[in-house]
Amino acid sequence: MSLPEKVRPDGPEWLEFERKHLWHPYASMKNPMPAYPVKSAAGVKLAFEDGREVIDGMASWWCAIHGYNVPELNRAARSQLSRMAHVMFGGLTHEPAAGLAGKLLSIAPAGMEHVFFSDSGSVSVEVAIKMALQYWQAQSRDEKHRLLTIPHGYHGDTFGAMSVCDPDAGMHHLFTGVLPKQLFADAPTAGNDNEWDDSQIASFHSRIKTHHNELAAVILEPVVQGAGGMRFYAPEFLRQVCQLCDQYNVLLILDEIATGFGRTGAMFACEHAGIEPDIMCVGKALTGGYMTLAATLCSSRVSDGIHADFEDNKHSGVLMHGPTFMANPLACSVAIASIDLLLNSPWQQRVRDIGQQLERELAPCREMAGVADVRVKGAIGVVEMKEPVDIAAVQSQLIERGVWLRPFGKLIYTMPPYVITAEQLSRVTSAMCEAVIFSSKRV
Ligand SMILES: *Cc1c(COP(=O)(O)O)cnc(C)c1O
C-alpha cells in the first residue's frame, strides 16, 4: 500500500498515521479515544513526546511493579540478548526456562509442581481450561466439560476465557451462540471475613451440588476481581469453594494474573484463604511489565491425571498446546530478575504502606457527591461512582495534574508500581479526588 507523503509512518506525522491505521484496546477505528504519545519511561514516570511527565498510577495495566527502566531488569535483558533472544521450545530447552520454573514453584502454593509457559494471560487461561478438560477426558469422564464461576470476573479476551467473564460487563452478548455456556453462581458480597455469613456460599453450593457431574472445574480470581469490576470478596468464600470442589470432585483453577506477585499484600492472593488450587495462572507482573509472558501451574494430580489413560488409544496423554514463543528466553530471564528484585525488596511493607495511604487519602471521597463506594485492598485503591465516568474528559484532567490513570465504567482506580513514593502517591490520590468532583459535576 502506498501512503500519501503527508502521513509517512516514520515522519513527523506518524501520529496521524497511527490514528488512521492502528487499533487500540477496546477501541473504535472510526472514532478513537485520544492516545497520548509516550517517548520514554523511568521510575514511576512516563515522559510524553510533548515534554509533559505523568506519574503512572496504573503500572501499565498492573504489570510494572518495579516501575520503568529498572537497572536490574535492563541488565537481565541485555545479558540474555547477547546469548539468544529466542529459540523454539519444541525439542529444545534452555536454562532461563528451567530457572524461572524453579523460581515460580518455590514461591507458589506448595502443591504446584508443573509449569506451562505461554505468551499472555488469556492464553494461560485457555491452557488451564484445556488441562482441566483433558484431565477428565483421560478419566473417561468426557461429560465433565463445563466451568462454574461467579459474575464480575475477568479472565481474558480469547473465547474460552470470555465464556467465564462477567456475562453483563463482558462480551457474552456479542458472541452468544459461539461462546460455550458456562455456569454462574451468585457472587459473594462480603468484602472481608468480618462481614461474612454462610448464606453467601448458598448459591455456589447449590450449583456445584446440582451440576458436579458435568463440571470440569471452578475458575475464580482469588479475593480480588479485577477488570470485571475491581471488587474484593471475603477469603472465607474461597475457603468454602475449595472445600466444595474437593467434596464434589471438581478441579479448582485460580486466576492470579492480576493478583500475583504481591499486589494484595500476599505473594499470591490465595494465601489469604490458606488454600491451594489444582491449577493456577500467572501473568501481568511476571516480567515486571517488561515483556509478554504468562504461565499455567498445576499439581501432580492434574498432570498425572492427564496421562492416566495413556495405555488406551483414545487419549494420548499429551497436553495439546504449544505456542510459537513458548518460554521465550528473553522474557524468562527478565522474569527471573523481576522475581529476585521483588524478593530482595521490602515489598510487604511497601504494599502495606501504599494501602494505608490509599485508605487515608481516598477516605474523603466517601462523602463526595456521586460516589457509590471507596475500597482499598493491598496496593489497589478504587473509587466507584454511581454513574459511568467520561474517560477521555477525566483523563485529560488527570494529565493536567501530572497523573496517568485509565478509569473504566464507573471506576476511578489506581494500582501503582510498588516503588512509588508517598509524595508521588499523594499526587495520584489528590488527582483521583479531583476527578471524582469533576465527574460528579458532569452528570
Ligand atoms: C489481564 C488479565 C487476564 C488476561 O491477560 P492478558 O495478558 O491480557 O491476556 C486474565 N485474567 C486476569 C485476572 C487478568 O487481570
Q: What is the pLDDT of residue 317?
A: 86
Is residue 13 assigned to a domain?
no
Q: What is the pLDDT of residue 6?
A: 55
Cell 475458575, residue located: 219
Give the helix/strand (H/E) hosting 296: strand 294-299
Given ligand 1 and candidates 63, 122, 224, which is best to mutate, with the most ligand atoms within 8 Å of its CB? Answer: 122
Assess whether 194 and 65 both reside in one domain.
Answer: no
pLDDT attached to residue 8: 67
Which is the catalytic residue, given 284, 290, 377, 413?
A: 284
The finding on whether 258 has its CB within 6 A of some atom of ligand 1 is: yes
45-78 pLDDT, tens per residue?
999 999 999 999 999 999 999 999 999 999 999 9
pLDDT at 308: 82
CB of 418 closer than 8 Å to CB of 66: yes
Q: Which atom of ligand 1 is nearest the CA belonging to 125? A: 10
284 is catalytic: yes
CB atoms within 10 A of CB 190: 17
Q: Is 314 a domain residue?
A: yes
Does residue 309 have an active-site annotation? no
Query: What pLDDT was estimated at residue 93?
Result: 98
Asked if the structure places residue 153 within a domain, the reply is yes
Model pTM?
A: 0.96
From the CB of residue 22, how many other CB atoms can be counted at a distance below 10 Å? 12
What's 387's DSSP letter? S
User: Pocket of ligand 1, candidates 123, 124, 154, 171: which has the most ligand atoms within 8 Å of its Cβ, to mutate?
Assistant: 154
pLDDT tens sequence across 343-397: 999 999 999 999 999 999 999 999 999 999 999 999 999 999 999 999 999 999 9
Residue entry with cell 484431565: 135
What's residue 286's pLDDT? 98
CB of 236 sitting under 6 A from ligand 1: no
Domain closes at, from 325, 343, 361: 343
4: in domain = no
> Based on the domain organization, do 316 and 428 belong to the same domain?
no
Return the number of other C-beta atoms located less than 10 Å from residue 432's C-beta.
27
Which domain covers residue 91, as residue numbers? 74-343
Domains: count for the chain? 2
Say whether both 408 and 336 belong to one domain: no
Q: Is residue 1 part of a domain?
A: no
CA triplet 229, 369, 414: central angle to 5 degrees? 40
| Residue 431: CATH number of its domain | 3.90.1150.10
Q: What is the mean pLDDT of each run of 10 residues along the chain (443 residues)?
A: 61 86 93 93 97 98 98 98 98 98 98 98 98 96 98 97 91 87 96 95 98 98 97 98 98 98 98 98 98 98 88 75 98 98 98 98 97 98 97 96 97 98 98 96 74
